[in-house]
Amino acid sequence: MEYTTIKKEDAEVSKILEAERVRQQEGIELIASENYVSVAVQEALGSIFTNKYSEGYSGKRYYAGNEFVDDVENLAISRAKELFGAEHVNVQPLSGSPANAAVYFATVKPGDKILGLKLDHGGHLSHGHPVNFSGMLYDFVQYTVKKETGEIDMDEVREIALREKPKMILAGFSAYSRNMDWKRFKEIADEVGAITFADIAHIAGLIAGKQIESPVPYFDIVTTTTHKTLRGPRGAMIMCKEKFAKDIDRAVFPGMQGGPHDNNTAAKAIAFGEALKPEFQAYAKQVILNAKAMADELMKNGFKIISDGTDNHLMVVDLSNQGLVGKEAEVALDKAGISTSRSTIPYDINPPMNPSGIRLGTPAVTTRGMKEAEMRQIAQWIIEALKNKDDDNKLEAIRQEVKSLCAKYPIPTF
């Protein structure tokens, strides 16, 4: 029996929560930015640390009674340092976008030039999208992926950097399936005197799990969300070289935020502790093996994956050779119990609200314990569902098969 007190105290919320629990348990989650946190992380999020106000930093708070908040924040910081080898860590950012805002506030001025990955080529809203604060305040110039290969061309990045002389070079993505050449980014930044900023929101868990290379040794500043592959609570953190520490801390508080969410900080400490265990390396390895298996099965069946494969947890499927657009695919797959997100593809001819692709990721299904065989099965269901996108009976039949597979892989709840 889950959430017994809510059930007793608030029937309305209880009903909604139970429906969501069933949705999460019975469906296959392929949204690349999602995951299932452990019961320990869930307990910390529901803990009495949510009662506390603690503006400021350890030993320098603006409220009384913060000795244990200090303990838990210090623990989260020391575990994060151990996990990523960072010189300085701030665990207070409430989410990824505010963390990125704090980085810009700490290091550049409105109107300054920043070089980042083009949004519809895999970048993030907070990397200079015109509707986002980042695009409104800063002068973003962008590098792209090559049309033929779907991969970032570092010679082009260098060319643009030499021409544009940006104050900052940003490397990071929400929808790119290849490894970044961190070292080369750093060399290019040094040539033009730019600050290096990596946003590893998507791949932090794969880096923590020692499966892909880390930018932390090379880059001045690295941000990450804590809730994607890193499998912690919703939130973020900023890692940086010592010389940026004071400015970053000041930009987070009092620059951007008031009180940190201490229940989240406790949950971050727990998640970092989990990520330090050898099992987490096995998890990260399996996430990638699963993504490779899913990409392979889709490609064998005529689907086009941007860059023809993946080195990480995600892939962007170009549906244009399937006579489909992303939104109809997303809707049909949802009816079949498979959760995905529509996605732009590089050089998309369709508009962002109805782009030509879908993005698939394996962090959540891997947490449930699924392996390559299940990935190939899921790929087959995807293919079948898309072929029968207008046949609700067929989609419902797939949904029942999905449900019985999921019954064997319970999600963590208390």
Ligand X SMILES: *Cc1c(COP(=O)(O)O)cnc(C)c1O
Does 202 participate in binding ligand X (rule CB under 6 A)? yes
Question: Is 7 noted as a catalytic residue in this protein?
Answer: no
Indicate which residue of 3, 18, 43, 53 is catalytic. 53
Q: Is 199 in the site for ligand X (CB under 6 A)?
A: yes
Give SS3 for 168. strand
Q: Which is nearer to ligand X, 313 or 389 (CB)?
A: 313
Tell me which H or E stretch contains 273. Answer: helix 262-275
Q: Which is nearer to ligand X, 135 or 394 (CB)?
A: 135
Residue 341 near ligand X by CB under 6 A:
no
What residues numbered 204-243 form the site for ligand X, per CB under 6 A? 225, 236
- Evaluated on CA atoms 382, 388, 392, 396, the torsion sign reads negative
The H-assigned helical ranges of 201-254 are: 204-208, 245-250
Q: How far is the CB of 394 from ligand X (least distance, A)?
A: 33
CA distance 180 to 313: 14
Task: Show Cβ contacts of residue 396 under 8 Å, excluding neighbours closer than 6 positions.
Answer: 335
The least distance separating ligand X from the CB of residue 227, rounded to whole angstroms, comes to 7
Choosing from 30, 33, 128, 248, the residue that interacts with ligand X (CB under 6 A) is 33
* By the rule CB under 6 A, 116 interacts with ligand X: no
What is the C-alpha to C-alpha distance for residues 231 and 193, in angstroms, rounded to an integer?
35
Applying CB under 6 A, which of residues 124, 268, 359, 368 lies at the interface with ligand X? 124
Q: Active site includes 359?
A: no
112 is catalytic: no
Question: Which lies closer to ligand X via its Cβ, residue 316 or residue 395?
Answer: 316
From candidates 92, 97, 343, 344, binder to ligand X by CB under 6 A = 97
Task: Rule CB under 6 A: choose which of 47, 95, 377, 388 binds ligand X.
Answer: 95
Distance between first and last Cα of the chain: 8
| Residue 210 annotated as catalytic | no
C-alpha pair distances (Å), 283 with each of 40, 365, 369, 378: 17, 11, 9, 19
**Number of residues in contact with ligand X under rule CB under 6 A:** 15
Structure tokens at 9: 């105290």
CB of 225 to ligand X, least distance (A): 5
Cβ neighbours of residue 307 under 8 Å, at least 6 residues apart? 145, 149, 150, 151, 176, 177, 178
Active site residue 138: no
With binding defined as CB under 6 A, does residue 201 bind ligand X?
Answer: yes
Q: Which is nearer to ligand X, 66 or 265 (CB)?
A: 265
Q: Considering the rule CB under 6 A, would residue 126 count as an interface residue with ligand X?
A: yes
Contacts with ligand X in 148-177 (CB under 6 A)? 172-174
Task: Report in angstroms how near the CB of residue 202 gets to ligand X at its nearest.
Answer: 5
66 or 343: CB nearest ligand X? 343
Tokens 């941000």 belong to residue = 223
Chain residue whose CB lies nearest ligand X = 96
Catalytic residue among 29, 199, 220, 311, which?
199
Q: Which DSSP string do the residues of 18-67 spell out, in sequence order?
A: HHHHHHHHHSEE--TT-----HHHHHHHTSGGGG----EETTEESSS--H
H helical segments located in 46-142: 67-84, 96-107, 133-137
User: Is 143 labeled as catalytic in the residue annotation?
Assistant: no
Quickly count: other Cβ atoms within 10 Å of residue 29's Cβ.
22
Residues interacting with ligand X, by CB under 6 A? Answer: 33, 95-97, 100, 124, 126, 172-174, 199, 201-202, 225, 236
Give the residue numbers marked as catalytic: 53, 55, 199, 225, 228, 234
